[in-house]
Chain A
Amino acid sequence: MTRPLLEVRRLRKTFAPRRRGGSPVRAVTDVSFDLREGEVLGLVGESGSGKSTIGQCLVHLHRPDGGEILLDGENLATLPRGAFRRRRTAVQMIFQDPSSALNPRMSVGDALREALRLHSPHAGRDVIEERLERLLRLIGLQPEHASRYPHQLSGGQKQRIGIARAIAVEPRCLIADEAVSALDVSIQAQIITLLGDLQQSLGLTMLFISHDLGVVRYVADRVAVLYLGRLVEIGPARDIFAAPAHPYTQALLAAIPDPARPLDESAILDDPAGPDPRAAGGGCAFAPRCPHVMDLCRKDQPFLTQVAADHTCACVLRKIHPDRQGETV
Chain B
Amino acid sequence: MTETMFQASVRMPVRAARTSLLSRVLASWQGRIGGGIVTFFTLMAVFAPWITPHSPTEVDFMSVMVVPTLEHPFGTDEVGRDILSRVILGARTSLLVVVAATLISSVAGAAIGLVAGWVGGWVDTLVMRVMDAMLAFPLIVLALAIIAVLGPSLTNAIIAIGIVKIPHFARLMRGEVLTLRTLDYIKAVETMGLGLPRILLRHVLPNAAGPVLVYMSIAASLALMTEASLSFLGLGIQPPTPSWGGMVSVGMQNWHFWWMSFYPGLAIFITVLAFNLLGDAIRDAMDRRLS
Contacts and interface: CB of A to CB of B under 8 A. Distances in A.
Which one of B193, B198, B202, B203 has the highest number of Cβ atoms from chain A below 10 Å of its Cβ?
Answer: B193
Given A115-B192, A154-B10, A106 B202 contact: yes
Q: Which of B4, B6, B189, B288 has the most CB of A within 10 A?
A: B288
B190 interface: yes
Interface in A73-94: 85-86, 88-89, 91-93
B192 A118 contact: yes
A166 B188 CA distance: 8
Interface stretch (A144-152, A196-204, A288-296): A144-152
A92 B289 CA distance: 28
A289 B207 CA distance: 46
A120 interface: no
A322 interface: no
A92 B192 CA distance: 7
Contacts of B184: 95-97, 100-101
Nearest to B194: A118
A236 interface: no
B289 A151 contact: yes
Interface residues of A, number: 42
Most chain-B Cβ atoms within 10 A of its Cβ — which of A60, A115, A140, A149? Answer: A149
Nearest to A104: B288
B56 to A, nearest CB: 46
Interface in B236-291: 286, 288-289
A97 to B, nearest CB: 6
Contacts, number: 90
B187 A151 contact: no
Given A105-B288, A149-B288, A60 B191 contact: yes
B194 A100 contact: no
Contact of A152 (B14, B189, B198): B14
A325 interface: no
A181 interface: no
B14 A169 contact: no
A23 interface: no
Contacts of B192: 88-89, 92, 115, 118, 165, 169
A69 to B, nearest CB: 14
A195 interface: no
B253 to A, nearest CB: 50
Nearest to B193: A88
A96 B184 CA distance: 8
Contacts of A107: 17
A102 interface: yes
Contacts of A142: 7
A253 interface: no
A104 B186 CA distance: 11
A61 B191 contact: yes
B17 to A, nearest CB: 5
A85 B193 contact: yes
Nearest to A148: B14
A65 interface: no
Given A97-B184, A100-B183, A107-B17, A89 B10 contact: no
Nearest to A109: B17
B2 interface: yes
B194 A61 contact: no
A59 interface: yes
The CB with the most chain A CB atoms within 10 A, among B184, B203, B286, is that of B184
A149 B17 contact: yes
A247 interface: no
Contact of B193 (A61, A89, A103, A105): A89
B206 interface: yes
A156 interface: yes
A157 B289 contact: no
A190 interface: yes
A61 B185 contact: no
Interface of A: 59-61, 85-86, 88-89, 91-93, 95-97, 100-107, 114-115, 118, 140-142, 147-149, 151-152, 154, 156-157, 162, 165-166, 169, 186-187, 190
Please name the 8 residue pairs, one residue from A and one from B, whose CB atoms are nearest each other, closest first: A95-B184, A88-B193, A101-B184, A59-B191, A103-B185, A100-B184, A151-B289, A100-B183
Given A85-B193, A149-B289, 19 more contacts: A60-B191, A88-B192, A89-B192, A92-B191, A95-B187, A103-B203, A103-B207, A104-B289, A114-B194, A115-B192, A118-B194, A141-B7, A148-B12, A148-B14, A152-B10, A154-B7, A156-B6, A157-B7, A162-B188
